[in-house]
């Protein structure tokens, strides 16, 4: 068939008028060879409103597939009058296109083609050219194609208005009809092959066998007395639009003296007073020289106008500060500007208070007459100023746009200028900006639009009544169009129950210091016009396009603009940069792609029935599968886990363990077996400076070579065994932080010359004096020497609980006696000694006993220099030491200067987010206040684009500083950036609950506080319920529901206890029936200790370790304590956690909480480390005695183990 089509005779197959600037019209079929389709009829209709410079073009083509005896797809290229023209209608036969978001339309078109169901779309492909596909074109069945285009009439040199439609056919069209109507002017139609047709309000031309070379031109002459505002109905809405020409604006401004702007009360007639709002965040540091150049330009511009200028300088980042006296000289202002310190992040919310202060006079000096904002608008909290407070309508605040090479949020800056009715100009062009500020260059602006209903409160609340720009705003700044005119539009509802339509508009325009008001009447719609009609459609599209333009200028967030603009474009049914027109014909196409079928579409009734059927089926399937799989499976098991843990009997509760609780892994290690630590331990023993006796010990040699054989091990002095265990604890390969290890190692007393003793002796404090003497006797040169230091060493025993520990220690001594030494016994003893030495030493070093006993009354003997710790208190690197020393000698200011000097001398530090984290930690450790530490911490977000990991890191540290509001803001941003991670929801829930708990400490528990708590708890509950019930989490996060269930149940129980009026209203009963899923019932979970460990880096493994007073250590591979009944949740090896420790009944004593950075499967480039957050609750559920602790730590090295919390019971 394709070959047959190629051989058919065709007349004039060459496109006419190939010299036209716009690509020619074409309607073809075939992929490789584009064959022209037959067009039997063409109707072109122009609907014009000359007074508004608007025109709606409707093109109807009757197309026939007379070449291929099957359904084919055609391709249409349609040239538009200009690049600003918009396609606003597309129809093939009875099927009308729907407007969809651009990405959705492309997705649907792809899926439908994959299913073999072609669709038709209309989308811009090249400037003023639109392309659409036509399907199906059945053989010998005529199809009518309708395209509607919105465009503008352009002013001509002769005073007329004109447009040209560049429509030229490849083949002669038998019947061509051209019609034109004008609401308020005379028209002339010009087309090749026809005489010009002119009419007072309408014109028509008919042609036969026409190709229209050169297209069709429409000219209009505006009628005398044409209205400035036009209205028309479209459906149940009334649209109106107005146009004020340049000549009318000039006349209005010339007829009035105007009111000088920017002259608040108190300024008098003195010198112009310019306020400078300078962003001093870290990211703004590179624009300091530009700001100085602007000051010089401002002074020169005001000088040319015959006067000087005075200034007031404010700086802002996280706080705002006035840096000069009011009305300072140029020299004083430049000096203050040059001295600014650039640090911290940007909080644009401070702009409201800055404007209010600058716009009002006070005891310090007069108000400002104008102001300049110098900022990059990179607000990492994503917060925006309100710009509706005092001074915002009076003080003109001009915005300096950063140079092109600088990173800046230009959308926010332009939005600020529009809201404040001021101008934008590049900071790199200081003379241009200074001319605007001084008034030397005047800009015409529409500063306010009002209607005759502006004072009606009901009008403000009526969403159906909208204008562009918004009449609700007290101040706007809409510049004129390229032709110098101003355009406004609006819409209101019609029909029963609708409010009366507005009848008048008021425009306030300004140019420099002049201001004028222009009043426009809104006429009723022409009664003769049908509704809906082309005039109403024309005004609807115009209002939509003005709205899209206004959205881009008035909203600072591009994502928000995209959402709102897409919704507006789709509602109006236009093809734009945000939307495409998609032509579907089958009800299945609408259902499969979740698209609403328009009521006037032929498939609408069938789509309704099919949608209802599918919705019912899908709802039943989802309810049956998702709820059963999630709630009746995993979640129900997890609820049972709490009851099982609470009710479980622990036979050895509170008793010291025999093997240290470390499981077979450490037993194998200490006994010479395999395991991940065994070889490291043997290496430690070989490298230790062992006492002579122990070094020569056959048992130690056997251990270093790999273990015991079947024969009983040779004799081993017990002191050597204890010393070897101590070496394992304190060597560089151990897991304890170096600083803690040093603190745990007081040295033995001085020994006689030539004598030797095991080290560190402090770790043998679990033996009494007699046992110590017995242990040391074989090693000491004389019995006298052993007796000399044994009593001092035994004083360490005062910090231990003798009722629990001494029997175990004595049993260890007995186990070392020769008759009982076997391979199994030796392995068990070594394991027990290793863990008990470590546990006892830790507890003794922390200065207290488990049962309430105090530290040893005997002073520790003097120490030789300890080993260098592996981890510094505040970080690594001498630069941190320099900051700490400067703080100690000169306070915060000195530390900041030292930090700046370190950044200058070490450029590599500047671009690392970890630099600012460590500096903030250093300042905090030195005693700096939270605000100063947060300033440095926010520099993390200034050094790189704030992704969710970086925001999470900073938020964790803000929580540890107690800055809860800012932490919540950042975690809300994390939730926005990473909603698919369950941890985003648990993090924001914890932060909000922590903030609520903190606010309740000072505020009375009254009805108002309860309602605030209800709103906050609604967010907490929703976030945690989503974690528990969602089926979208990746499998690697399986069982995150367990800690979330405990958290949710506890949070609700706490809120209901604290705010009794909320009882019964917080639990998400519809999603999680309380009878089945509320852990602990209404009272909530009752746990003596609850510890939560989470971290910020994906694809990493951080482990939670808790060492209990019994000496047992609970962690991922030994996740149940035999001596307390505690449990550790599943091991999350692929990132983020959380891992939790739960203990229903806690024996008295100290619980040491540690983290182990076990593995990383990805590079952590965001902050140079992984940050962990650890929080604990003691006496959970006993709300009068609850104690919550929080800590955030950085983990920089794999296998790094850090002590993070210590809990005393």
Digit-coded pLDDT (tens) for 960-979 = 888 888 889 888 888 887 78
Per-residue pLDDT, averaged over 689-718, amounts to 37
pTM of the model: 0.53
- What's the full length of the chain, in residues? 1209
Please answer whether residues 1111 and 836 qualify as being in contact, where contact means their C-beta atoms are separated by less than 8 angstroms.
yes
Q: Which of 827, 669, 662, 657 is nearest to 733 (CA)?
A: 669
Which of 771-793 are b and which e, b meaning 16 or more Cβ less than 10 Å from the residue's Cβ?
Answer: bbbbbbbebbeeeebbebbbebb
3-class SS of residue 542: helix
**Between 616 and 640, residue with greater pLDDT:** 616
Q: How many Å apart are CA 1065 and CA 1082, to the nearest integer? A: 12
Strands 444-451 and 397-401, bridge-based pairing: unpaired
Q: How many Å apart are CA 234 and CA 360, to the nearest integer? A: 48
Number of H helices, E strands in the chain: 34, 42
3-class SS of residue 364: coil
Q: What is the pLDDT of residue 781?
A: 40
Residue 153 is given by DSSP the state: P
Name the token pair of 421. Answer: 């009715």
The 10s digit of each residue's pLDDT in 880-929 is 888 888 998 888 888 989 898 888 888 888 877 788 888 888 888 888 88
What proportion of the chain, given as a percentage, has pLDDT over 90?
A: 18
Residue 50 is given by DSSP the state: G
Q: What is the pLDDT of residue 320?
A: 93
The 10s digit of each residue's pLDDT in 205-245 is 999 999 999 899 999 998 888 889 999 988 889 999 999 98
Among the ranges given (34-38, 472-476, 509-513), the one the predictor scored with the smallest mean pLDDT: 509-513
Q: What is the pLDDT of residue 467?
A: 94
Answer whether residue 54 shows pLDDT above 90. yes
Q: How many Å apart are CA 1072 and CA 1088, to the nearest integer? A: 26
DSSP bridge pairs for 876 = none
Please answer whether residues 483 and 155 qualify as being in contact, where contact means their C-beta atoms are separated by less than 8 angstroms.
yes
* List of residues 6+ apart from 527 with CB closer than 8 A: none
Q: What is the pLDDT of residue 405?
A: 63
If one counts every other C-beta atom within 10 angstroms of the C-beta of residue 1043, the result is: 24
Question: What DSSP element (H or E) covers 977?
Answer: helix 964-977
Answer whether residue 939 shows pLDDT above 80. yes
What angle (nearest 5°) sits at the alpha carbon of residue 769, between those of residues 764 and 775?
Answer: 55
Residue 163 is given by DSSP the state: E
Q: What is the pLDDT of residue 123?
A: 55
Residue 821 is given by DSSP the state: -
Place of tokens 């107005």: 242
Q: Which of 1090, 1197, 1093 is nearest to 1145 (CA)?
A: 1090
Q: What is the pLDDT of residue 770?
A: 46
Question: What DSSP element (H or E) covers 322?
Answer: strand 320-322
Answer whether residue 83 shows pLDDT above 50. yes
What proportion of the chain, given as a percentage, has pLDDT over 70?
A: 73
Q: How many Å apart are CA 1108 and CA 40, to the nearest integer? A: 91
Per-residue pLDDT, averaged over 538-562, amounts to 85
Omega prior to 760 cis, within 30 of 0: yes
Name the token pair of 622. Answer: 């989802």
Q: Which of 303, 365, 360 is nearest to 328 (CA)?
A: 365
Output the DSSP codes for 1015-1059.
HHHHHHHHHHHHHHH-S-S-GGGTTTHHHHHHHHHHHHHHHHHHS
Residue 988 is given by DSSP the state: H
Q: Which of 708, 658, 666 is nearest to 810 (CA)?
A: 658
Q: How many Å apart are CA 1142 and CA 472, to the nearest integer? A: 55
Q: Which of 1187, 1205, 1117 is nearest to 1158 (CA)?
A: 1117
Please answer whether residues 662 and 835 qualify as being in contact, where contact means their C-beta atoms are separated by less than 8 angstroms.
yes
Edge-to-edge strand order for the sheet containing 1100-1107?
1113-1114, 1100-1107, 1150-1160, 1200-1208
Please answer whether residues 450 and 215 qualify as being in contact, where contact means their C-beta atoms are separated by less than 8 angstroms.
no
Name the token pair of 1023. Answer: 């976030």
**Alpha helices in 671-819, H assignment, sequence order:** 678-687, 692-695, 698-705, 718-730, 738-743, 769-776, 783-794, 802-815
Give the pLDDT band of residue 1006 (cuts 50, 70, 90). Answer: confident
Give the torsion through C-alpha atoms of 535, 539, 544, 546, to 10 deg.
150
The gap from C-alpha 367 to its chain's centroid, in whole angstroms, comes to: 38
Residue 638 is given by DSSP the state: H
Residue 904 is given by DSSP the state: H
What angle (nearest 5°) sits at the alpha carbon of residue 784, between those of residues 783 and 786?
Answer: 65
Q: Which of 229, 223, 192 is nearest to 208 (CA)?
A: 192
Place of tokens 């990493």: 1100
Give the pLDDT band of residue 1 (cuts 50, 70, 90). Answer: very low
Q: 632: buried, middle or exposed (CB in 10 Å: 19+, 13-18, 0-12)? A: exposed
Among the ranges given (4-8, 62-66, 598-602), the one the predictor scored with the smallest mean pLDDT: 4-8
If one counts every other C-beta atom within 10 angstroms of the C-beta of residue 943, the result is: 18
Place of tokens 């009375």: 1004
Q: How many Å apart are CA 210 and CA 44, to the nearest integer? A: 13
3-class SS of residue 136: strand
Give the pLDDT band of residue 1163 (cuts 50, 70, 90). Answer: very low
Q: How many Å apart are CA 184 and CA 787, to the nearest integer? A: 118
DSSP bridge pairs for 215 = none
CA distances to 227, 231, 453, 462, 506 from 521, in Å: 8, 10, 13, 21, 9
Please answer whether residues 307 and 279 qualify as being in contact, where contact means their C-beta atoms are separated by less than 8 angstroms.
no
3-class SS of residue 434: helix
Edge-to-edge strand order for the sheet containing 86-92?
95-96, 86-92, 143-152, 54-64, 38-49, 173-182, 202-210
Q: What is the pLDDT of residue 1160?
A: 57
Name the token pair of 18. Answer: 């190939």
Residue 634 is given by DSSP the state: I
Please answer whether residues 896 and 341 qualify as being in contact, where contact means their C-beta atoms are separated by less than 8 angstroms.
yes
The 10s digit of each residue's pLDDT in 252-280 is 988 764 444 433 333 344 688 999 999 99
Q: Which of 150, 152, 148, 149 is nearest to 51 (CA)?
A: 152
Give the pLDDT band of residue 55 (cuts 50, 70, 90). Answer: very high
Q: How many Å apart are CA 1173 and CA 1194, to the nearest integer? A: 9
What's the mean per-residue pLDDT of the chain?
74
The 10s digit of each residue's pLDDT in 381-421 is 777 788 888 888 788 889 998 886 677 777 788 788 877 76
Answer whether residue 727 shows pLDDT above 70. no
Q: How many Å apart are CA 767 and CA 811, to the nearest integer? A: 11
Please answer whether residues 180 and 48 qualify as being in contact, where contact means their C-beta atoms are separated by less than 8 angstroms.
yes
Please answer whether residues 902 and 909 qualify as being in contact, where contact means their C-beta atoms are separated by less than 8 angstroms.
yes
Residue 647 has phi, psi (to 5 degrees) of -90, -10
């Amino acid at each position: 068939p394709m070959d047959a089509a190629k051989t058919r005779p065709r007349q004039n197959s060459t496109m006419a008028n190939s010299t036209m600037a716009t690509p020619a019209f074409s309607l073809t079929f075939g992929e490789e060879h584009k064959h022209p389709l037959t067009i039997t009829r063409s109707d072109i209709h122009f609907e014009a409103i000359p007074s508004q410079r608007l025109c709606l073009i409707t093109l109807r083509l009757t197309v026939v597939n007379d070449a291929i005896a099957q359904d084919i797809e055609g391709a249409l290229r349609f040239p538009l009058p200009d690049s600003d023209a918009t396609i606003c209608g597309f129809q093939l036969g009875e099927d009308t296109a729907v407007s969809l978001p651009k990405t959705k339309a492309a997705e649907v078109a792809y899926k439908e083609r994959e299913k073999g169901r072609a669709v038709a779309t209309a989308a811009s492909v090249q400037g003023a050219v639109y392309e659409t596909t036509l399907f199906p074109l059945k053989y010998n069945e005529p199809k009518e194609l309708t395209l509607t285009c919105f465009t503008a009439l352009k002013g001509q040199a002769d005073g007329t208005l004109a447009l040209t439609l560049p429509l030229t056919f490849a083949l002669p069209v038998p019947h061509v009809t051209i019609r034109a109507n004008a609401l308020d002017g005379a028209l002339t139609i010009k087309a090749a092959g026809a005489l010009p047709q002119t009419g007072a309000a309408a014109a028509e031309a008919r042609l036969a066998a026409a190709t229209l070379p050169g297209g069709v031109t429409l000219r209009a002459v505006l009628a005398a007395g044409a209205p400035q505002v036009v209205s028309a109905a479209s459906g149940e809405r009334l649209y109106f639009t107005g146009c004020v020409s340049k000549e009318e604006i000039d006349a209005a401004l010339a007829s009035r003296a105007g009111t000088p702007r920017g002259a608040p009360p108190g300024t008098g007639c003195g010198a112009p007073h310019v306020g400078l709002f300078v962003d001093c965040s870290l990211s703004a540091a590179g624009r300091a020289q530009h700001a100085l150049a602007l000051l010089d330009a401002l002074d020169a511009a005001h000088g040319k106008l015959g006067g000087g200028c005075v200034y007031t300088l404010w700086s802002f980042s996280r706080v705002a500060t006035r840096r000069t006296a009011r009305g300072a000289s140029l020299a004083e202002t430049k000096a203050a500007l040059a001295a600014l310190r650039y640090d911290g992040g940007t909080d644009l919310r401070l702009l409201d208070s800055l404007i209010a202060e600058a716009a009002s006079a006070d005891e310090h000096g007069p108000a400002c007459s104008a102001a300049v904002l110098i900022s990059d608008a990179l607000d990492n909290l994503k917060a925006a100023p309100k710009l509706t407070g005092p001074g915002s309508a009076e003080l003109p605040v001009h915005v300096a746009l950063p140079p092109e090479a600088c990173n800046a949020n230009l959308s926010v800056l332009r939005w600020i200028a529009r809201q404040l009715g001021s101008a934008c100009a590049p900071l790199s062009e200081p003379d241009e900006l200074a001319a605007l500020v001084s008034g030397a260059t005047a800009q015409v602006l529409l500063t306010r639009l009002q209607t005759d209903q502006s004072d009606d409160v009901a009008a403000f609340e009526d969403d159906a009544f909208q204008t562009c720009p918004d009449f609700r705003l007290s101040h706007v700044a809409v510049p004129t169009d390229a032709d110098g005119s101003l355009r406004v539009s609006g819409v209101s509802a019609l029909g029963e129950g609708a409010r009366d339509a507005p009848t008048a508009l008021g425009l306030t325009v300004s140019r420099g210091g002049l201001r004028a008001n222009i009043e426009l009447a809104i006429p009723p719609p022409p009664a003769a016009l049908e509704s809906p009609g082309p005039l109403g459609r024309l005004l609807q599209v115009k209002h939509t396009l003005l709205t899209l333009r206004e959205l881009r200028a008035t909203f600072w967030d591009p994502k928000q603009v995209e959402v709102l603009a897409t919704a507006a474009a789709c509602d109006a049914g236009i093809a734009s940069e945000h939307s495409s027109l998609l032509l579907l014909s089958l009800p299945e196409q609408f259902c499969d792609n979740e698209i609403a079928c328009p009521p006037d579409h032929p498939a609408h009734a069938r789509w309704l029935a099919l949608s209802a059927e599918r919705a019912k089926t899908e709802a039943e399937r989802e309810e049956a599968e998702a709820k059963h799989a999630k709630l009746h499976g995993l979640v129900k098991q997890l609820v049972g886990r709490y009851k099982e843990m609470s009710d479980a009997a622990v036979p050895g509760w509170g008793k010291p363990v025999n093997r240290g609780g470390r499981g077979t892994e450490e037993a194998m290690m200490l006994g010479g077996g395999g395991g991940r630590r065994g070889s490291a331990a043997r290496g430690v023993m070989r490298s230790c400076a062992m006492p002579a006796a122990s070094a020569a010990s056959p048992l130690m040699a056997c251990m270093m070579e790999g273990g015991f054989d079947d024969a009983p091990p040779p004799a081993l002095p017990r002191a050597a065994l204890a010393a070897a265990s101590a070496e394992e604890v304190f060597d560089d390969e151990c897991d304890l932080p170096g600083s803690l290890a040093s603190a745990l190692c007081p040295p033995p007393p001085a020994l006689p010359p030539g004598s030797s003793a095991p080290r560190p002796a402090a770790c043998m404090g679990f033996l009494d004096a007699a046992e110590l003497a017995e242990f040391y006797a074989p090693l000491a040169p004389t019995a006298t020497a052993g007796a000399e230091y044994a009593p001092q060493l035994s004083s360490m025993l005062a910090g231990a609980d003798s009722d629990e520990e001494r029997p175990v220690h004595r049993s260890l001594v007995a186990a070392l006696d020769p008759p009982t030494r076997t391979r199994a016994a030796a392995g068990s003893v070594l394991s027990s000694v290793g863990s008990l030495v470590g546990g006892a030493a830790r507890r003794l070093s922390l200065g207290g006993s488990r049962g309430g006993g105090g530290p040893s009354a005997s002073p520790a003997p003097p120490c030789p220099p300890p080993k260098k710790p592996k981890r510094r208190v505040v970080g690594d690197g001498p630069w941190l030491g320099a900051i700490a020393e400067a703080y100690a000698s000169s306070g915060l200011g000195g530390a900041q200067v030292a930090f700046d000097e370190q950044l200058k001398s070490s450029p590599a530090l500047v671009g690392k987010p970890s630099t600012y984290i460590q500096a903030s930690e250093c300042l905090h450790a030195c005693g700096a206040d939270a605000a100063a530490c947060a300033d440095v911490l926010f520099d993390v977000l200034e050094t790189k684009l704030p992704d969710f990991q970086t925001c999470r890191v900073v938020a964790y540290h803000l929580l540890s500083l107690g800055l809860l509001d800012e932490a919540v803001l950042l975690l809300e941003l994390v939730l926005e950036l990473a909603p698919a991670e369950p941890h985003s929801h648990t993090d924001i829930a914890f932060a909000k609950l922590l903030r609520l708990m903190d606010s309740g400490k000072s505020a009375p528990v009254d009805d108002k506080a309860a309602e605030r708590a209800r709103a906050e708890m609604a967010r907490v509950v929703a976030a945690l319920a989503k974690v528990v019930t969602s089926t979208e989490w990746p499998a690697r996060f399986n069982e995150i529901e367990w800690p979330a269930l405990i958290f949710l149940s506890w949070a609700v129980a706490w809120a209901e206890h604290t705010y009794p009026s909320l009882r019964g209203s917080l639990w998400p009963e519809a999603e999680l029936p309380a009878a089945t899923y509320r852990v602990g019932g209404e009272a909530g979970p009752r746990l003596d200790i609850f510890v939560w460990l989470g971290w910020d880096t994906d694809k990493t493994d951080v482990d939670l370790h808790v060492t209990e007073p019994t000496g047992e250590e609970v962690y991922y591979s030994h996740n149940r304590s035999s001596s307390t009944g505690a449990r550790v949740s599943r091991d999350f090896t692929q990132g983020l956690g959380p891992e939790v420790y739960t203990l229903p009944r806690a024996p008295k004593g100290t619980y040491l909480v540690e983290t182990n950075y076990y593995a990383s499967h990805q590079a952590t480039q965001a902050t140079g480390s992984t940050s962990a957050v650890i929080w604990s609750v003691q006496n959970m559920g006993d709300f009068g005695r609850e104690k919550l602790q929080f800590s955030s730590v950085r983990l920089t090295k794999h296998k790094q183990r850090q002590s993070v919390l210590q809990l005393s019971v």
